[in-house]
C-alpha cells in the first residue's frame, strides 16, 4: 500500500453514509507497508495509536466465532476513517466507516465474518494533520453476560483469543469492589465498562504477562449500578478461570 492512493466509494454500515476516500501508508514501523508488521488487536481491548498527516496505520485481529463484529475508532483529533480487508495487502477490502466529516467517532459493524480468521483494518488520516486515536474491536457473538452474585466465585471457560462477559450490581457508593481472576490456564485480562455494549471503558487489570491472577480493587461510584466485565484471552490458549467480585 505504500505510496498508493485509493479513491473509491465505501459504505459505513453504522451511518449508511457513502464517502470518497484516499489513504497512503506511513511506513513508520507499526503500519503494514514496506514489510512492517500489523499491530495485533485483541477483542475488547482498546489500543491507542497515532497516524501521520494523510497517512495510515494497519491492524489485524482474529475472530473467535462466526458473526458480526464492531470496529470503533474514537478519541481522534483529526478526520479519520477505517477500512477492513480479508488480506494483509488490503486488496480484498469489503467495508469501512467514514460517517463523520470531522473528529467524530467512526463506529460500525463489519458484517458477517468467518470464525478463526484474521482480518485487517486500515485507519486513514484525511485532514492533513498528525493525529492520535483509539481503536477497538468487539465481538457481537450473541453472548448473554452472566450475572455475578457478590462474594460468590464463578468458574468459566474461555476460547483461545476469545472473550467472556459478566455483569454485577453495586449496592452502595461507599463500597469498594475487588474483581479477581484466579485459577487461570492462560494469559487473561479483565476490563469493566459503563454500558452493556462494552464501549465506554471504565477500568482494567492486566498485571501479569502469564497465567497469574488478575486482581484489582475499585470504587464504581453511585449505586445501585450495573458494572459490565469483559474477560479477554491473550495468549491463544483455551482454558478455565474463576471470577469473583467481592464487596468491601
Q: Does 1 have pLDDT greater than 50? A: no
Q: What is the pLDDT of residues 85-139, one digit of tens each?
A: 999 888 888 989 988 888 888 888 787 788 889 999 999 999 999 999 999 888 7
What is the DSSP secondary-structure string of 81-99? Answer: EEEEESSTTS-SEEEEE--
Q: Rounded to whole angstroms, what are the CA distances from 228 to 95, 193, 196?
A: 29, 5, 6
- Residue 40 forms beta bridges with which residues? 60
Q: Has residue 21 been placed in a domain?
A: yes
Task: Judge residue 181's burial from the number of C-beta atoms within 10 Å of its C-beta, 0-12 exposed, 13-18 middle, 19 or more buried.
Answer: buried
Domain boundaries, position 22: 8-140
Q: Has residue 2 been placed in a domain?
A: no
Task: Report the C-alpha gap between 126 and 39 in whole angstroms.
Answer: 21
Residue 126 sits in the same domain as residue 169: no
Q: What is the pLDDT of residues 179-228, one digit of tens each?
A: 999 999 999 999 999 988 788 888 999 998 889 999 999 999 887 899 99
Residue 171 sits in the same domain as residue 124: no
Residue 233 sits in the same domain as residue 208: yes
Mean pLDDT rounded to a whole number for the chain: 81
Q: Has residue 98 been placed in a domain?
A: yes
Task: Report the residue count for the chain.
Answer: 248
Q: Has residue 3 been placed in a domain?
A: no
Handedness of CA 50, 55, 60, 61 (dihedral sign): positive
Residue 211 sits in a domain whose CATH number is 2.60.120.380
pLDDT at res. 140: 62
Whose grid coordinates read 477497538? 136
- Residue 94 forms beta bridges with which residues? none
C-alpha cell at 4: 498508493
Residue 133 sits in the same domain as residue 151: no
Q: Has residue 61 been placed in a domain?
A: yes
* Number of domains composing the chain: 2
Q: Has residue 1 been placed in a domain?
A: no
Q: What is the pLDDT of residues 40-75, one digit of tens each?
A: 998 878 899 999 999 999 999 998 777 778 898 988
Amino acid at each position: 500500500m505504500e505510496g498508493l492512493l485509493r479513491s473509491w466509494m465505501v459504505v459505513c454500515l453504522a451511518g449508511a453514509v457513502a464517502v470518497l476516500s484516499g489513504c497512503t501508508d506511513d511506513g513508520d514501523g507499526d503500519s503494514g507497508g514496506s514489510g512492517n508488521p500489523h499491530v495485533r488487536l485483541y477483542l475488547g481491548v482498546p489500543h491507542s495509536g497515532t497516524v501521520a498527516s494523510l497517512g495510515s496505520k494497519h491492524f489485524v485481529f482474529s475472530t473467535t466465532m462466526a458473526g458480526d463484529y464492531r470496529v470503533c475508532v474514537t478519541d481522534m483529533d483529526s478526520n479519520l476513517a477505517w477500512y477492513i480487508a480479508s488480506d494483509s495487502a488490503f486488496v480484498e477490502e469489503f467495508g469501512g466507516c467514514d460517517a463523520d466529516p470531522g473528529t467524530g467517532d467512526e463506529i460500525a459493524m463489519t458484517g458477517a465474518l468467518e470464525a478463526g480468521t484474521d482480518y485487517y483494518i486500515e485507519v486513514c488520516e484525511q485532514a492533513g494533520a498528525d493525529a492520535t486515536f483509539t481503536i477497538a474491536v468487539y465481538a457481537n457473538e450473541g453472548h448473554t453476560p452472566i450475572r455475578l452474585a457478590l462474594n460468590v466465585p464463578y468458574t468459566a471457560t474461555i476460547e483461545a483469543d476469545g472473550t467472556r462477559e459478566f455483569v454485577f450490581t453495586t449496592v452502595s457508593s461507599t463500597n469498594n469492589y475487588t474483581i479477581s481472576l484466579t485459577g487461570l490456564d492462560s494469559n487473561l485480562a479483565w476490563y469493566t465498562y459503563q454500558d452493556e455494549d462494552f464501549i465506554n471503558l471504565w477500568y482494567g487489570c492486566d498485571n501479569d504477562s502469564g497465567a497469574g491472577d488478575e486482581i484489582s480493587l475499585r470504587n464504581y461510584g453511585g449505586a445501585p449500578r450495573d458494572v459490565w466485565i469483559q474477560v479477554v484471552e491473550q495468549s491463544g490458549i483455551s482454558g478455565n478461570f474463576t471470577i469473583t467480585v467481592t464487596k468491601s
